[in-house]
Structure 1
Amino acid sequence: MDTKAPPRIFSRQRRKAGYRRALVRQSQRDAARYVFDDMVEDVLDRLEFMRFEPAKVLVIGDWTGTLALSLRGRGSTVEEANVATIDEEVPLEGAPYDLIVSLASLDRVNDLPGALLHLRAALAEGGILIASIIGAGSLANLRRAMIAAEPDRPAPRMHPLVDNAAGSALMQRALFRRQVVDSRSLEVAFPSLDRLVSDLRDQGLTSSLSSAAPPLGKAALERARSTFLSTRNGNERVLENFEILTLTGWKD
Protein backbone atom coordinates (compact mmCIF):
# COMPACT_ATOMS: atom_id res chain seq x y z
CA MET A 1 0.00 0.00 0.00
CA ASP A 2 1.35 3.41 -1.00
CA THR A 3 1.48 5.67 2.06
CA LYS A 4 3.67 8.39 0.56
CA ALA A 5 2.42 11.83 1.55
CA PRO A 6 1.14 14.05 -1.29
CA PRO A 7 3.46 16.84 -2.46
CA ARG A 8 3.10 20.11 -0.60
CA ILE A 9 2.04 22.49 -3.37
CA PHE A 10 -0.12 24.86 -1.35
CA SER A 11 0.30 26.75 1.90
CA ARG A 12 -2.64 26.63 4.28
CA GLN A 13 -1.33 29.75 6.02
CA ARG A 14 -1.27 31.69 2.74
CA ARG A 15 -4.83 30.51 2.01
CA LYS A 16 -5.93 31.82 5.40
CA ALA A 17 -4.15 35.12 4.85
CA GLY A 18 -5.81 35.57 1.45
CA TYR A 19 -9.21 34.77 2.95
CA ARG A 20 -8.77 37.34 5.74
CA ARG A 21 -7.62 40.01 3.26
CA ALA A 22 -10.67 39.30 1.10
CA LEU A 23 -12.99 39.81 4.06
CA VAL A 24 -11.42 43.21 4.72
CA ARG A 25 -11.59 44.19 1.04
CA GLN A 26 -15.25 43.13 0.89
CA SER A 27 -16.08 45.90 3.35
CA GLN A 28 -15.46 48.30 0.47
CA ARG A 29 -18.53 49.17 -1.57
CA ASP A 30 -17.14 48.29 -5.01
CA ALA A 31 -15.34 45.04 -4.10
CA ALA A 32 -15.69 42.29 -6.72
CA ARG A 33 -17.65 39.15 -5.87
CA TYR A 34 -18.92 37.95 -9.24
CA VAL A 35 -17.22 34.53 -9.13
CA PHE A 36 -18.95 33.61 -5.88
CA ASP A 37 -22.26 35.15 -6.96
CA ASP A 38 -22.13 32.93 -10.05
CA MET A 39 -21.28 29.81 -8.02
CA VAL A 40 -24.06 30.41 -5.48
CA GLU A 41 -26.66 30.98 -8.19
CA ASP A 42 -25.55 27.80 -9.97
CA VAL A 43 -25.81 25.67 -6.82
CA LEU A 44 -29.32 26.94 -6.10
CA ASP A 45 -30.35 26.25 -9.70
CA ARG A 46 -29.00 22.69 -9.48
CA LEU A 47 -30.85 21.97 -6.26
CA GLU A 48 -34.08 23.33 -7.72
CA PHE A 49 -33.63 21.22 -10.86
CA MET A 50 -32.98 18.08 -8.78
CA ARG A 51 -35.87 19.00 -6.46
CA PHE A 52 -33.53 18.19 -3.61
CA GLU A 53 -34.44 19.63 -0.21
CA PRO A 54 -31.62 18.72 2.20
CA ALA A 55 -32.33 18.78 5.91
CA LYS A 56 -28.72 19.24 7.08
CA VAL A 57 -26.16 21.13 5.00
CA LEU A 58 -22.49 22.06 5.27
CA VAL A 59 -21.35 25.03 3.18
CA ILE A 60 -17.59 25.47 2.79
CA GLY A 61 -15.89 28.53 1.37
CA ASP A 62 -18.79 30.91 0.74
CA TRP A 63 -17.65 33.98 2.66
CA THR A 64 -20.58 35.95 1.17
CA GLY A 65 -23.04 34.01 3.35
CA THR A 66 -25.69 34.19 0.63
CA LEU A 67 -25.89 30.47 -0.06
CA ALA A 68 -26.44 29.59 3.60
CA LEU A 69 -29.07 32.33 3.86
CA SER A 70 -30.94 30.99 0.83
CA LEU A 71 -30.81 27.39 2.04
CA ARG A 72 -32.06 28.36 5.49
CA GLY A 73 -34.93 30.13 3.77
CA ARG A 74 -35.80 26.80 2.17
CA GLY A 75 -35.93 25.08 5.55
CA SER A 76 -32.43 23.55 5.74
CA THR A 77 -30.24 23.54 8.85
CA VAL A 78 -26.94 24.96 7.62
CA GLU A 79 -23.43 24.95 9.06
CA GLU A 80 -20.84 27.27 7.52
CA ALA A 81 -17.09 26.73 7.34
CA ASN A 82 -14.13 28.39 5.68
CA VAL A 83 -10.39 27.88 5.35
CA ALA A 84 -9.88 29.37 8.82
CA THR A 85 -12.26 26.91 10.51
CA ILE A 86 -12.02 23.69 8.52
CA ASP A 87 -9.34 21.50 6.97
CA GLU A 88 -10.77 19.42 4.12
CA GLU A 89 -7.80 17.06 4.30
CA VAL A 90 -8.90 15.53 7.63
CA PRO A 91 -12.20 13.88 8.66
CA LEU A 92 -15.05 16.37 9.08
CA GLU A 93 -16.91 16.82 12.33
CA GLY A 94 -20.69 17.22 12.50
CA ALA A 95 -21.48 14.50 9.96
CA PRO A 96 -23.59 13.10 8.46
CA TYR A 97 -24.84 15.82 6.08
CA ASP A 98 -27.48 15.52 3.40
CA LEU A 99 -25.63 18.09 1.30
CA ILE A 100 -22.09 19.45 1.30
CA VAL A 101 -21.28 22.45 -0.91
CA SER A 102 -17.72 23.63 -1.44
CA LEU A 103 -17.03 26.88 -3.30
CA ALA A 104 -13.58 27.76 -4.71
CA SER A 105 -11.85 25.80 -1.97
CA LEU A 106 -10.88 22.31 -3.14
CA ASP A 107 -8.60 23.54 -5.93
CA ARG A 108 -6.09 24.66 -3.29
CA VAL A 109 -5.63 21.59 -1.08
CA ASN A 110 -2.54 19.41 -1.29
CA ASP A 111 -4.39 16.09 -1.06
CA LEU A 112 -7.44 16.57 -3.27
CA PRO A 113 -8.26 12.83 -3.54
CA GLY A 114 -8.09 12.56 0.25
CA ALA A 115 -10.25 15.64 0.73
CA LEU A 116 -12.93 14.22 -1.58
CA LEU A 117 -12.87 10.94 0.36
CA HIS A 118 -13.39 12.82 3.63
CA LEU A 119 -16.24 14.82 2.14
CA ARG A 120 -17.91 11.66 0.87
CA ALA A 121 -17.51 10.01 4.28
CA ALA A 122 -19.27 13.00 5.87
CA LEU A 123 -22.36 12.53 3.71
CA ALA A 124 -25.44 10.61 4.79
CA GLU A 125 -26.59 7.77 2.54
CA GLY A 126 -28.12 9.39 -0.52
CA GLY A 127 -26.33 12.66 0.28
CA ILE A 128 -24.86 14.92 -2.38
CA LEU A 129 -21.57 16.78 -2.75
CA ILE A 130 -21.47 19.85 -5.00
CA ALA A 131 -17.99 21.32 -5.35
CA SER A 132 -17.35 24.32 -7.60
CA ILE A 133 -13.74 25.21 -8.39
CA ILE A 134 -11.81 27.39 -10.81
CA GLY A 135 -11.00 25.07 -13.72
CA ALA A 136 -8.00 24.64 -15.99
CA GLY A 137 -9.41 26.77 -18.80
CA SER A 138 -9.23 29.93 -16.68
CA LEU A 139 -7.24 33.15 -16.94
CA ALA A 140 -5.33 32.45 -20.15
CA ASN A 141 -4.42 36.11 -20.63
CA LEU A 142 -3.09 36.40 -17.10
CA ARG A 143 -0.96 33.29 -17.56
CA ARG A 144 0.40 34.66 -20.83
CA ALA A 145 1.26 37.94 -19.13
CA MET A 146 3.09 36.20 -16.28
CA ILE A 147 5.22 34.21 -18.72
CA ALA A 148 6.04 37.34 -20.72
CA ALA A 149 7.05 39.17 -17.55
CA GLU A 150 9.90 36.75 -16.91
CA PRO A 151 10.63 35.07 -20.26
CA ASP A 152 13.95 33.51 -19.27
CA ARG A 153 13.05 31.90 -15.95
CA PRO A 154 9.47 32.62 -14.84
CA ALA A 155 8.77 32.11 -11.16
CA PRO A 156 5.73 30.00 -10.26
CA ARG A 157 2.93 32.50 -9.65
CA MET A 158 -0.23 30.61 -10.64
CA HIS A 159 -1.10 27.19 -9.29
CA PRO A 160 -2.12 24.16 -11.39
CA LEU A 161 -5.84 23.74 -12.03
CA VAL A 162 -8.13 20.74 -12.56
CA ASP A 163 -9.80 19.97 -15.90
CA ASN A 164 -12.93 17.94 -16.66
CA ALA A 165 -11.15 14.65 -17.25
CA ALA A 166 -9.13 14.94 -14.05
CA GLY A 167 -12.26 15.94 -12.13
CA SER A 168 -14.11 12.82 -13.26
CA ALA A 169 -11.16 10.61 -12.36
CA LEU A 170 -10.92 12.20 -8.92
CA MET A 171 -14.61 11.64 -8.20
CA GLN A 172 -14.32 7.97 -9.20
CA ARG A 173 -11.23 7.59 -7.04
CA ALA A 174 -13.18 9.07 -4.12
CA LEU A 175 -15.74 6.24 -4.58
CA PHE A 176 -18.63 8.33 -5.83
CA ARG A 177 -20.59 5.72 -7.79
CA ARG A 178 -22.80 8.38 -9.36
CA GLN A 179 -21.08 11.59 -10.38
CA VAL A 180 -21.29 14.39 -12.91
CA VAL A 181 -18.51 16.82 -13.81
CA ASP A 182 -19.33 19.81 -15.99
CA SER A 183 -17.98 23.27 -16.69
CA ARG A 184 -19.20 26.65 -17.80
CA SER A 185 -17.51 29.92 -18.69
CA LEU A 186 -17.77 33.21 -16.88
CA GLU A 187 -16.35 35.93 -19.12
CA VAL A 188 -15.32 39.24 -17.56
CA ALA A 189 -13.94 42.37 -19.25
CA PHE A 190 -10.97 44.19 -17.69
CA PRO A 191 -9.45 47.58 -18.52
CA SER A 192 -6.05 46.57 -17.14
CA LEU A 193 -3.99 43.82 -15.55
CA ASP A 194 -4.08 45.71 -12.27
CA ARG A 195 -7.89 45.60 -12.18
CA LEU A 196 -7.88 41.82 -12.73
CA VAL A 197 -5.38 41.30 -9.91
CA SER A 198 -7.45 43.57 -7.64
CA ASP A 199 -10.60 41.55 -8.37
CA LEU A 200 -8.79 38.29 -7.57
CA ARG A 201 -7.65 39.75 -4.25
CA ASP A 202 -11.18 40.93 -3.48
CA GLN A 203 -12.41 37.36 -3.82
CA GLY A 204 -9.54 35.56 -2.12
CA LEU A 205 -8.50 33.91 -5.38
CA THR A 206 -4.82 34.82 -5.44
CA SER A 207 -1.98 32.31 -5.28
CA SER A 208 -1.64 30.01 -2.28
CA LEU A 209 1.49 28.25 -3.48
CA SER A 210 3.71 27.02 -0.66
CA SER A 211 6.66 29.06 -1.99
CA ALA A 212 5.76 32.69 -2.53
CA ALA A 213 7.30 34.16 -5.70
CA PRO A 214 9.28 37.39 -5.33
CA PRO A 215 7.55 40.61 -6.44
CA LEU A 216 7.91 41.50 -10.11
CA GLY A 217 10.46 44.17 -10.86
CA LYS A 218 9.41 47.37 -12.60
CA ALA A 219 10.46 46.21 -16.09
CA ALA A 220 8.86 42.76 -15.64
CA LEU A 221 5.62 44.32 -14.43
CA GLU A 222 5.47 46.62 -17.47
CA ARG A 223 6.02 43.63 -19.77
CA ALA A 224 3.17 41.83 -18.04
CA ARG A 225 0.85 44.82 -18.34
CA SER A 226 1.71 45.33 -22.01
CA THR A 227 1.21 41.65 -22.86
CA PHE A 228 -2.14 41.57 -21.08
CA LEU A 229 -3.40 44.63 -22.97
CA SER A 230 -2.23 43.25 -26.32
CA THR A 231 -5.46 41.22 -26.58
CA ARG A 232 -7.87 44.09 -25.77
CA ASN A 233 -10.92 44.50 -27.97
CA GLY A 234 -12.47 47.51 -29.66
CA ASN A 235 -13.85 48.67 -26.33
CA GLU A 236 -10.34 48.78 -24.85
CA ARG A 237 -11.11 45.80 -22.65
CA VAL A 238 -9.43 42.41 -22.27
CA LEU A 239 -11.91 39.54 -22.10
CA GLU A 240 -10.74 37.07 -19.48
CA ASN A 241 -12.42 33.73 -18.90
CA PHE A 242 -13.10 31.96 -15.62
CA GLU A 243 -13.91 28.30 -16.21
CA ILE A 244 -16.12 27.13 -13.36
CA LEU A 245 -15.77 23.38 -12.91
CA THR A 246 -18.50 21.72 -10.85
CA LEU A 247 -18.10 18.25 -9.34
CA THR A 248 -21.37 16.63 -8.26
CA GLY A 249 -21.37 13.26 -6.54
CA TRP A 250 -24.00 11.11 -4.83
CA LYS A 251 -23.26 8.78 -1.94
CA ASP A 252 -25.31 5.66 -2.70
Structure 2
Amino acid sequence: MTTPPRLFDTTQITRNLQRRPQGANFVRDLVLEDLADRLSAYKRDFSRAVLIGPDASSLPQTLFTANGPVQAQRVEAFSGDEFPLLPEGDLDLIVSLLHLQAINDVPGHLARLRRLLKPDGLLMAAFVGGESLTELREAFLAADLQVSGGASARVAPMAQVRDAGALLQRAGFALPVADVETHRVRYATPFALMAELKALGAANPLADRPRRFATRTLLATAAQTYAERDADADGRVRATLEIIWLAGWVPHESQQKPLRPGSATVSMKDVLKNP
Protein backbone atom coordinates (compact mmCIF):
# COMPACT_ATOMS: atom_id res chain seq x y z
CA MET A 1 0.00 0.00 0.00
CA THR A 2 1.47 3.33 -1.03
CA THR A 3 1.38 6.37 1.18
CA PRO A 4 -0.60 9.25 -0.40
CA PRO A 5 1.42 12.37 -1.17
CA ARG A 6 1.40 15.09 1.49
CA LEU A 7 -0.09 18.03 -0.37
CA PHE A 8 -1.40 19.99 2.59
CA ASP A 9 0.31 21.20 5.74
CA THR A 10 -2.44 20.64 8.30
CA THR A 11 -0.39 22.28 11.05
CA GLN A 12 -0.20 25.44 8.93
CA ILE A 13 -3.95 25.28 8.26
CA THR A 14 -4.64 25.14 12.00
CA ARG A 15 -2.26 28.06 12.52
CA ASN A 16 -3.98 30.09 9.78
CA LEU A 17 -7.39 29.51 11.37
CA GLN A 18 -6.15 30.46 14.83
CA ARG A 19 -4.63 33.72 13.57
CA ARG A 20 -7.65 35.04 11.72
CA PRO A 21 -10.00 37.56 13.32
CA GLN A 22 -13.36 36.25 14.46
CA GLY A 23 -16.34 37.54 12.53
CA ALA A 24 -18.48 36.98 9.47
CA ASN A 25 -17.67 34.07 7.18
CA PHE A 26 -19.73 34.27 4.00
CA VAL A 27 -18.47 30.92 2.65
CA ARG A 28 -19.60 29.08 5.78
CA ASP A 29 -22.95 30.91 5.68
CA LEU A 30 -23.51 29.95 2.02
CA VAL A 31 -22.78 26.30 2.79
CA LEU A 32 -25.01 26.21 5.88
CA GLU A 33 -27.90 27.73 3.96
CA ASP A 34 -27.50 25.13 1.22
CA LEU A 35 -27.20 22.34 3.80
CA ALA A 36 -30.52 23.37 5.35
CA ASP A 37 -32.22 23.14 1.95
CA ARG A 38 -30.71 19.76 1.16
CA LEU A 39 -31.43 18.14 4.52
CA SER A 40 -35.04 19.36 4.45
CA ALA A 41 -35.66 17.05 1.47
CA TYR A 42 -34.95 13.89 3.53
CA LYS A 43 -37.92 12.24 5.21
CA ARG A 44 -35.71 10.47 7.72
CA ASP A 45 -35.13 10.40 11.45
CA PHE A 46 -31.44 10.50 12.42
CA SER A 47 -30.71 9.61 16.02
CA ARG A 48 -26.90 9.92 16.06
CA ALA A 49 -25.50 12.73 13.92
CA VAL A 50 -22.10 14.40 13.68
CA LEU A 51 -21.26 17.73 12.04
CA ILE A 52 -17.58 18.14 11.13
CA GLY A 53 -16.15 21.50 10.10
CA PRO A 54 -13.73 24.31 10.92
CA ASP A 55 -14.78 26.56 13.79
CA ALA A 56 -17.07 23.80 15.02
CA SER A 57 -18.38 25.95 17.87
CA SER A 58 -19.90 28.33 15.29
CA LEU A 59 -21.83 25.53 13.56
CA PRO A 60 -25.43 24.73 14.47
CA GLN A 61 -26.13 22.05 17.06
CA THR A 62 -29.56 21.36 15.61
CA LEU A 63 -30.18 20.35 12.00
CA PHE A 64 -33.57 19.81 10.39
CA THR A 65 -34.88 17.15 8.03
CA ALA A 66 -38.43 16.95 6.66
CA ASN A 67 -39.24 14.88 9.79
CA GLY A 68 -38.03 17.49 12.27
CA PRO A 69 -34.95 18.44 14.32
CA VAL A 70 -31.75 16.42 14.52
CA GLN A 71 -29.26 17.02 17.33
CA ALA A 72 -25.69 16.94 16.01
CA GLN A 73 -22.39 16.53 17.82
CA ARG A 74 -19.99 19.17 16.51
CA VAL A 75 -16.42 18.06 15.72
CA GLU A 76 -13.54 20.43 14.93
CA ALA A 77 -12.16 19.66 11.47
CA PHE A 78 -8.68 21.13 11.89
CA SER A 79 -7.77 20.18 15.43
CA GLY A 80 -4.25 18.95 14.61
CA ASP A 81 -5.46 15.50 13.55
CA GLU A 82 -6.90 14.89 10.07
CA PHE A 83 -9.41 12.33 11.32
CA PRO A 84 -11.96 12.75 14.13
CA LEU A 85 -11.83 10.24 16.99
CA LEU A 86 -15.31 8.74 17.02
CA PRO A 87 -16.67 5.22 17.70
CA GLU A 88 -17.15 3.06 14.59
CA GLY A 89 -20.58 1.93 13.41
CA ASP A 90 -22.41 4.24 15.82
CA LEU A 91 -23.70 7.07 13.60
CA ASP A 92 -26.54 7.35 11.11
CA LEU A 93 -25.63 10.81 9.75
CA ILE A 94 -22.29 12.51 9.14
CA VAL A 95 -22.11 16.00 7.64
CA SER A 96 -18.66 17.26 6.64
CA LEU A 97 -18.35 20.95 5.75
CA LEU A 98 -15.36 22.70 4.15
CA HIS A 99 -12.88 20.02 5.22
CA LEU A 100 -12.28 17.58 2.36
CA GLN A 101 -10.53 20.17 0.21
CA ALA A 102 -7.56 20.09 2.60
CA ILE A 103 -7.30 16.33 3.23
CA ASN A 104 -4.19 14.55 1.97
CA ASP A 105 -5.85 11.13 1.59
CA VAL A 106 -9.45 11.80 0.53
CA PRO A 107 -10.34 8.18 -0.45
CA GLY A 108 -8.94 6.89 2.84
CA HIS A 109 -10.72 9.60 4.81
CA LEU A 110 -14.06 8.81 3.15
CA ALA A 111 -13.57 5.10 3.85
CA ARG A 112 -12.97 5.84 7.54
CA LEU A 113 -16.08 8.03 7.67
CA ARG A 114 -18.01 5.13 6.15
CA ARG A 115 -16.87 2.86 8.98
CA LEU A 116 -18.30 5.31 11.52
CA LEU A 117 -21.76 4.96 10.00
CA LYS A 118 -24.35 2.25 10.57
CA PRO A 119 -25.77 0.36 7.58
CA ASP A 120 -28.08 2.74 5.69
CA GLY A 121 -26.30 5.70 7.29
CA LEU A 122 -25.87 8.89 5.26
CA LEU A 123 -22.77 10.95 4.54
CA MET A 124 -23.15 14.49 3.23
CA ALA A 125 -20.10 16.60 2.43
CA ALA A 126 -19.47 20.05 1.01
CA PHE A 127 -16.02 21.23 -0.01
CA VAL A 128 -14.35 23.85 -2.19
CA GLY A 129 -14.20 22.62 -5.80
CA GLY A 130 -11.65 22.74 -8.57
CA GLU A 131 -12.89 25.82 -10.42
CA SER A 132 -12.61 28.01 -7.31
CA LEU A 133 -10.19 30.94 -7.53
CA THR A 134 -9.16 30.10 -11.10
CA GLU A 135 -8.79 33.82 -11.76
CA LEU A 136 -6.37 34.26 -8.86
CA ARG A 137 -4.45 31.10 -9.77
CA GLU A 138 -3.97 32.23 -13.37
CA ALA A 139 -2.98 35.74 -12.33
CA PHE A 140 -0.27 34.47 -9.97
CA LEU A 141 0.99 32.00 -12.59
CA ALA A 142 1.39 34.79 -15.14
CA ALA A 143 3.01 37.08 -12.55
CA ASP A 144 5.47 34.40 -11.42
CA LEU A 145 6.53 33.77 -15.00
CA GLN A 146 6.94 37.47 -15.66
CA VAL A 147 8.78 38.37 -12.44
CA SER A 148 10.90 35.28 -11.72
CA GLY A 149 10.70 33.20 -14.87
CA GLY A 150 9.13 30.22 -13.05
CA ALA A 151 5.95 29.12 -11.32
CA SER A 152 5.33 28.47 -7.62
CA ALA A 153 2.44 26.70 -5.87
CA ARG A 154 0.40 29.57 -4.44
CA VAL A 155 -3.22 28.29 -4.73
CA ALA A 156 -4.12 24.78 -3.60
CA PRO A 157 -5.30 22.20 -6.15
CA MET A 158 -8.93 21.16 -5.70
CA ALA A 159 -11.04 18.22 -6.87
CA GLN A 160 -13.34 18.40 -9.89
CA VAL A 161 -17.01 17.47 -9.56
CA ARG A 162 -16.61 14.76 -12.23
CA ASP A 163 -14.26 12.89 -9.86
CA ALA A 164 -16.31 13.33 -6.69
CA GLY A 165 -18.89 10.57 -7.24
CA ALA A 166 -16.12 8.10 -8.06
CA LEU A 167 -14.46 8.92 -4.73
CA LEU A 168 -17.64 7.90 -2.89
CA GLN A 169 -17.89 4.63 -4.81
CA ARG A 170 -14.24 3.89 -4.15
CA ALA A 171 -14.87 4.37 -0.42
CA GLY A 172 -17.74 1.86 -0.52
CA PHE A 173 -20.78 4.16 -0.48
CA ALA A 174 -23.96 3.24 -2.33
CA LEU A 175 -26.26 5.54 -4.32
CA PRO A 176 -23.57 8.24 -4.69
CA VAL A 177 -24.61 11.73 -5.79
CA ALA A 178 -22.30 14.63 -6.63
CA ASP A 179 -23.30 18.10 -7.76
CA VAL A 180 -21.90 21.60 -7.68
CA GLU A 181 -23.00 25.10 -6.69
CA THR A 182 -21.08 27.87 -8.45
CA HIS A 183 -21.00 31.41 -7.07
CA ARG A 184 -19.48 34.55 -8.57
CA VAL A 185 -18.18 36.98 -5.99
CA ARG A 186 -17.00 40.51 -6.80
CA TYR A 187 -14.35 42.62 -5.07
CA ALA A 188 -13.25 46.22 -5.37
CA THR A 189 -9.66 45.11 -6.13
CA PRO A 190 -7.64 41.88 -6.24
CA PHE A 191 -6.02 42.99 -2.98
CA ALA A 192 -9.47 43.01 -1.34
CA LEU A 193 -9.90 39.37 -2.38
CA MET A 194 -6.47 38.44 -1.02
CA ALA A 195 -7.26 40.19 2.27
CA GLU A 196 -10.54 38.29 2.63
CA LEU A 197 -8.86 34.95 1.93
CA LYS A 198 -6.40 35.70 4.71
CA ALA A 199 -9.23 36.77 7.04
CA LEU A 200 -11.02 33.47 6.31
CA GLY A 201 -7.89 31.53 7.27
CA ALA A 202 -7.44 30.41 3.66
CA ALA A 203 -3.83 31.47 3.21
CA ASN A 204 -1.62 29.06 1.24
CA PRO A 205 -2.02 25.61 2.94
CA LEU A 206 0.34 23.64 0.68
CA ALA A 207 3.19 21.66 2.17
CA ASP A 208 5.31 22.67 -0.84
CA ARG A 209 4.43 26.36 -0.64
CA PRO A 210 7.13 29.00 -1.17
CA ARG A 211 8.94 29.71 2.10
CA ARG A 212 9.52 33.36 1.28
CA PHE A 213 6.80 35.97 1.39
CA ALA A 214 5.57 37.15 -1.99
CA THR A 215 7.40 40.35 -2.97
CA ARG A 216 5.61 43.64 -3.57
CA THR A 217 6.56 43.41 -7.23
CA LEU A 218 4.98 39.97 -7.55
CA LEU A 219 1.79 41.01 -5.74
CA ALA A 220 1.47 44.17 -7.82
CA THR A 221 2.02 42.25 -11.06
CA ALA A 222 -0.53 39.59 -10.07
CA ALA A 223 -3.08 42.26 -9.13
CA GLN A 224 -2.57 44.11 -12.41
CA THR A 225 -2.90 40.89 -14.43
CA TYR A 226 -6.03 39.94 -12.47
CA ALA A 227 -7.65 43.31 -13.09
CA GLU A 228 -6.82 43.23 -16.80
CA ARG A 229 -8.32 39.78 -17.28
CA ASP A 230 -11.25 39.61 -14.88
CA ALA A 231 -12.58 43.11 -14.19
CA ASP A 232 -16.12 44.20 -14.96
CA ALA A 233 -17.04 47.53 -16.54
CA ASP A 234 -17.27 49.18 -13.10
CA GLY A 235 -13.70 48.13 -12.25
CA ARG A 236 -14.60 45.43 -9.73
CA VAL A 237 -12.99 42.02 -10.22
CA ARG A 238 -14.72 38.64 -10.33
CA ALA A 239 -13.80 35.54 -8.32
CA THR A 240 -15.25 32.06 -8.75
CA LEU A 241 -16.32 30.02 -5.71
CA GLU A 242 -17.34 26.44 -6.45
CA ILE A 243 -18.85 24.25 -3.74
CA ILE A 244 -19.07 20.53 -4.49
CA TRP A 245 -21.70 18.51 -2.62
CA LEU A 246 -21.51 14.76 -2.06
CA ALA A 247 -24.10 12.37 -0.66
CA GLY A 248 -23.75 8.62 -0.23
CA TRP A 249 -25.26 5.83 1.85
CA VAL A 250 -23.69 2.89 3.62
CA PRO A 251 -25.04 -0.18 1.77
CA HIS A 252 -28.14 -1.84 3.22
CA GLU A 253 -30.52 -4.50 1.93
CA SER A 254 -33.45 -2.07 1.97
CA GLN A 255 -31.87 0.24 -0.61
CA GLN A 256 -32.77 0.28 -4.28
CA LYS A 257 -30.59 -1.97 -6.41
CA PRO A 258 -29.80 -1.59 -10.13
CA LEU A 259 -31.41 -4.21 -12.37
CA ARG A 260 -29.26 -7.08 -13.58
CA PRO A 261 -28.03 -6.74 -17.18
CA GLY A 262 -30.48 -8.48 -19.53
CA SER A 263 -33.38 -8.42 -17.04
CA ALA A 264 -35.42 -5.77 -18.88
CA THR A 265 -38.85 -6.88 -20.15
CA VAL A 266 -39.21 -4.16 -22.80
CA SER A 267 -36.63 -3.60 -25.54
CA MET A 268 -35.38 -0.15 -26.50
CA LYS A 269 -36.09 -1.06 -30.12
CA ASP A 270 -39.81 -1.48 -29.38
CA VAL A 271 -39.94 1.79 -27.46
CA LEU A 272 -38.36 3.73 -30.34
CA LYS A 273 -40.70 2.12 -32.90
CA ASN A 274 -43.81 3.10 -30.88
CA PRO A 275 -43.40 6.68 -29.62
TM-score by length of 1: 0.89
In the alignment, what sits opposite 1:250? 249
Match of 2:15 among 6, 13, 17: 17
TM-fit CA distance, 1:84: 3.9
Q: Which runs of 5+ in 2 are unaligned?
A: 252-275
Q: State the one-letter code of the partner of 1:26.
A: Q
1:203 to 192, 195, 200: 200
Question: Secondary structure at 2:111's aligned position in 1?
Answer: helix
Aligned to 2:235: 236
Structure label with greater radius of gyration: 2
Q: CA deviation at 1:203?
A: 2.2
User: For residues 64 and 249 of structure 2, what CA distance do their matches in structure 1 show?
Assistant: 22
1:61 aligns with 2:37: no
TM-score after normalising by structure 2: 0.82
* Structure 1 segments (4+ residues) deviating >6 Å: none
| Alignment: residue pair count | 243
Q: Which residue of 2 aligns with 1:216?
A: 214
Identity of aligned residues (%): 30
Which amino acid letter does the alignment assign opposite residue 15 of structure 2?
A
Shift of 1:14: 0.8
Pick the aligned partner of 2:154 from 153, 157, 173.
157
SS at match of 2:246: strand
SS in structure 1 opposite 2:41?
Answer: helix
Q: 1:215 and 1:52 mapped to 2: Cα distance?
A: 50
1:85 to partner: Cα distance: 3.3
Partner Cα separation in structure 1 for residue 62 and residue 19 of structure 2: 25
Shift of 1:88: 4.1
The reply to whether residue 93 of structure 1 matches residue 86 of structure 2 is: yes
The match for 1:117 among 86, 111, 115 is 111
> Does the aligned pair in 2 maintain the 1:98–1:123 contact within 8 Å?
yes
Q: For residue 152 of structure 2, what is the amino acid of its counterpart?
A: A
Gaps of 5+ in 1: none
1:168–1:180 Cα contact (<8 Å) kept: yes
Map 1:41-60 to 2 at 5 A.
41-60=33-52
> How far is 1:52 from its partner?
3.2
Query: Cα distance, 1:66 vs. partner?
Result: 5.4
Contact 2:190 2:226 (8 Å CA) reproduced? yes
Q: By how many angstroms is 1:53 displaced? A: 3.6
Instruction: Letter of the 1:195 partner, please give it.
Output: A
The RMSD of aligned alpha carbons is 2.0
Residue deviations 1:8-47, cap 9 Å, x none? Answer: 111110111122123xx124xxx4x111111111111111
CA contact (8 A) 1:88 1:119 kept: no
